[in-house]
């Protein structure tokens, strides 16, 4: 028996596990410390009332013989797929129900999709980037090339025509930088992908934070994207489902490589390896798209965006370079006084008892930068900002 030795090429620990370990060690040594966590992008507001009502109702259904449900469709229940279809229609994007696959979140699908793609594909990943894109490809032994995000390109790298990619990752609004591609910029990526017959894996997990109507919230708002892109989205950040788990992946019927539809391959993969998201959770997810549910989740998003504004205004006042936080829950800042990302992490943890995420954890281009999340409690965020300003 041989192990998958590609795993040995991974960093010792996943970024957010490393951070959690560091916090635990600090807390054990400093038990009275009052730590404020603006690190991992985890939500803090509870599920909205419409979702809770739907979860209760569905739970009661599971208690009765006549309404009990066993295995559901691997692709998700039609009631939820249709809500998502309508949600896209409201964004001006027409989808068929069978292009929408319900899952337990974008992170799983972004990793699982690699099952249907050949290991020899050349992968192009922007740097800095959500570390799961890199790690899942390392696990599969795939060759990864990076494209640099930096202050000069506002952390929105654009295609290099002299390079031919097979698989391209794009996350917009971006994790970790909060940068959002415009229609024109995404169009350049779509044209590039179609020219090199590459596949774009588009992560739209933060689309609900885009308030600027001129910015795209789905790759499928771009002409030509149905021929080259899969979109991954999730209710984690949209509706506070980080612990409830529900997301969806859109695989257009036009998407074909070697004469084979990726929609069929993905369907085949899901039917073999996945037994669907629990019925109760899908009912909760359905409620997100109801009139009341949607108003309620948008109030929560407004709350987080207000947190982002508080962080943005404070950094602005202090003259600390930063981006994001307007159409995104993440603020990406330059570490003060030439500190490295981990130095600044340690500095804030020990001097201010505030946790953020070191930019270097998102790739080498993230070195010297730092990410703060707006998903915290309002009063605690304001307190954290005070402490950061005092110690920066
Ligand atoms: C993050 O902090 O980058 C995210 O919360 C991680 C995730 O969505 O898995």
Q: Which atom of ligand 1 is nearest to the CA of 357?
A: 2
Question: By three-state DSSP, how is residue 271 classified?
Answer: helix
Average pLDDT on 157-174 reads 96
Do 386 and 322 lie in one domain? The reply is yes
| Per-residue pLDDT band at 392 (split at 50, 70, 90) | confident
Q: Which helix (H) or strand (E) holds 256?
A: strand 256-257
- Ligand 1 within 6 A of CB of 309: no
Q: Which two tokens stand for residue 363?
A: 């790739």
Task: Identify whether the C-beta of residue 348 lies closer than 8 Å to the C-beta of residue 19.
Answer: no
Please choose, from the candidates 338, 336, 301, the residue with its C-alpha nearest in 3D space to the C-alpha of residue 322. 336
Task: Identify whether the C-beta of residue 110 lies closer than 8 Å to the C-beta of residue 133.
Answer: yes
Question: By three-state DSSP, how is residue 37 classified?
Answer: strand
**DSSP string of 21-34?**
HHHHHHHHH-TT--
- Ligand 1 within 6 A of CB of 175: yes
Best substitution site from 107, 175, 207 to test ligand 1's pocket, by max atoms within 8 Å of Cβ? 175
Q: Supply the pLDDT for residue 12.
A: 77
- Ligand 1 within 6 A of CB of 245: no
CA nearest ligand 1 atom 3, residue: 41
| Per-residue pLDDT band at 121 (split at 50, 70, 90) | very high
- Ligand 1 within 6 A of CB of 41: yes
Q: Which of 290, 312, 345 is the C-terminal boundary of a domain?
A: 290
Average pLDDT on 38-57 reads 97
Best substitution site from 18, 19, 41 to test ligand 1's pocket, by max atoms within 8 Å of Cβ? 41
Q: Which of 266, 290, 314 is the C-terminal boundary of a domain?
A: 290
Q: How far is the CA of 128 from the centre of ligand 1 (A)?
A: 14
Please choose, from the candidates 33, 112, 162, 43, the residue with its C-alpha nearest in 3D space to the C-alpha of residue 272. 112
**Residue 182 CB: number of other CB atoms within 10 A?**
14
The tally of domains found in the chain comes to 2
CA nearest ligand 1 atom 4, residue: 41
* Whole-angstrom distance, CA of residue 72 vs CA of residue 115: 22
* Residue bearing tokens 């899952």: 103
* Whole-angstrom distance, CA of residue 319 vs CA of residue 256: 49
Per-residue pLDDT at 59 exceeds 80? yes
Do 175 and 306 lie in one domain? The reply is no
Question: By three-state DSSP, how is residue 186 classified?
Answer: helix
- Ligand 1 within 6 A of CB of 40: yes
Question: By three-state DSSP, how is residue 375 classified?
Answer: coil
222 secondary structure, DSSP code: S
CA nearest ligand 1 atom 1, residue: 41
What CATH number is associated with residue 80?
3.40.640.10
Do 271 and 319 lie in one domain? The reply is no
What CATH number is associated with residue 314?
3.90.1150.10
Do 309 and 201 lie in one domain? The reply is no
Q: Which helix (H) or strand (E) holds 169?
A: strand 167-171
Per-residue pLDDT at 169 exceeds 90? yes
pLDDT digit string, tens, across residues 177-222: 999 999 999 999 999 999 999 999 999 999 999 999 999 999 999 9
Task: Identify whether the C-beta of residue 371 lies closer than 8 Å to the C-beta of residue 176.
Answer: yes
Q: How far is the CA of 163 from the centre of ligand 1 (A)?
A: 29
Task: Identify whether the C-beta of residue 84 lies closer than 8 Å to the C-beta of residue 249.
Answer: no
C-alpha distances in Å from residue 131, one per residue of 109, 253, 274, 309, 323: 14, 29, 24, 26, 20
Q: What is the mean pLDDT of the chain?
A: 97
| Per-residue pLDDT band at 14 (split at 50, 70, 90) | confident
Do 166 and 223 lie in one domain? The reply is yes
CA nearest ligand 1 atom 9, residue: 107
Calculate what percentage of the chain has a pLDDT beyond 70: 100
Do 106 and 228 lie in one domain? The reply is yes
CA nearest ligand 1 atom 6, residue: 41
Please choose, from the candidates 211, 284, 312, the residue with its C-alpha nearest in 3D space to the C-alpha of residue 53. 284
Do 301 and 265 lie in one domain? The reply is no
Do 38 and 90 lie in one domain? The reply is no
Question: By three-state DSSP, how is residue 126 classified?
Answer: strand
208-235 residues labelled b (16+ CB within 10 A) or e (exposed): bbbeeeebbbbbbbbeebbebbbbbbbb
Do 124 and 189 lie in one domain? The reply is yes
- Ligand 1 within 6 A of CB of 20: no
CB proximity list for 264: less than 8 A, separation 6 or greater = none
* Whole-angstrom distance, CA of residue 339 vs CA of residue 353: 17
Q: Identify any residues that bridge with 171 across adjacent strands, giving them in sequence order.
A: 203
Q: How far is the CA of 2 from the centre of ligand 1 (A)?
A: 32
Per-residue pLDDT at 309 exceeds 90? yes
Per-residue pLDDT at 29 exceeds 90? yes
Per-residue pLDDT at 13 exceeds 90? no
pLDDT digit string, tens, across residues 226-270: 999 999 999 999 999 999 999 999 999 999 999 999 999 999 999
Per-residue pLDDT at 149 exceeds 90? yes
* Residue bearing tokens 């209710």: 235
Do 62 and 211 lie in one domain? The reply is yes
**Which domain does 253 fall in, by range?**
51-290
Average pLDDT on 100-104 reads 98
Do 61 and 39 lie in one domain? The reply is no
Q: Which of 241, 263, 290 is the C-terminal boundary of a domain?
A: 290
* Whole-angstrom distance, CA of residue 392 vs CA of residue 389: 5
Do 297 and 278 lie in one domain? The reply is no
Q: How far is the CA of 188 from the centre of ligand 1 (A)?
A: 27
Q: Supply the pLDDT for residue 11.
A: 86
* Whole-angstrom distance, CA of residue 268 vs CA of residue 247: 18
């Amino acid at each position: 028996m041989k192990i998958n030795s590609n795993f040995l090429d991974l960093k010792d620990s996943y970024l957010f596990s490393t951070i959690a370990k560091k916090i635990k060690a600090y807390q054990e040594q400093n038990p009275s410390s009052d730590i404020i966590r603006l690190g991992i992008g985890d939500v803090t507001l509870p599920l909205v009332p419409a979702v809770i009502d739907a979860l209760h109702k569905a739970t009661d259904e599971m208690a009765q013989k006549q309404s009990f449900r066993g295995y559901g469709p691997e692709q998700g229940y039609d009631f939820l797929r249709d809500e998502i279809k309508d949600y896209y229609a409201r964004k001006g994007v027409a989808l068929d129900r069978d292009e929408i696959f319900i899952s337990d979140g974008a992170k799983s699908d972004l990793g699982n999709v690699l099952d249907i793609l050949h290991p020899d594909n050349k992968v192009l990943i922007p740097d800095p980037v959500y570390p799961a894109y890199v790690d899942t490809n390392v696990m599969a032994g795939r060759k990864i090339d990076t494209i640099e995000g930096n202050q000069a390109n506002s952390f929105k790298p654009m295609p290099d025509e002299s390079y031919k990619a097979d698989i391209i990752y794009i996350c917009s609004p971006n994790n970790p930088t909060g940068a959002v591609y415009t229609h024109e910029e995404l169009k350049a990526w779509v044209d590039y992908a179609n020219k090199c017959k590459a596949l774009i894996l588009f992560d739209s997990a933060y689309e609900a934070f885009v308030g600027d109507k001129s910015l795209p919230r789905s790759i499928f708002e771009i002409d030509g994207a149905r021929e080259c892109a899969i979109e991954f989205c999730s209710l984690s950040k949209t509706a506070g489902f980080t612990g409830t788990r529900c997301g969806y992946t859109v695989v257009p019927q036009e998407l074909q490589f070697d004469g084979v539809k990726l929609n069929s391959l993905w369907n085949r993969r899901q039917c073999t390896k996945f037994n669907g998201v629990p019925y109760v959770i899908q009912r909760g997810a359905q409620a997100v798209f109801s009139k009341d549910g949607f108003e309620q989740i948008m109030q929560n998003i407004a709350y987080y965006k207000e947190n982002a504004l508080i962080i943005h205004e404070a950094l602005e006042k202090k003259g600390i370079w930063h981006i994001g936080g307007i159409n995104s829950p993440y603020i990406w800042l330059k570490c003060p006084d030439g500190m490295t990302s981990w130095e600044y992490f340690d500095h804030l943890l020990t001097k201010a008892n505030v946790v953020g995420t070191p930019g270097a954890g998102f790739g080498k281009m993230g070195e010297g930068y730092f990410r703060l999340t707006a998903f915290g409690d309002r009063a605690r965020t304001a307190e954290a900002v005070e402490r950061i300003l005092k110690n920066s």
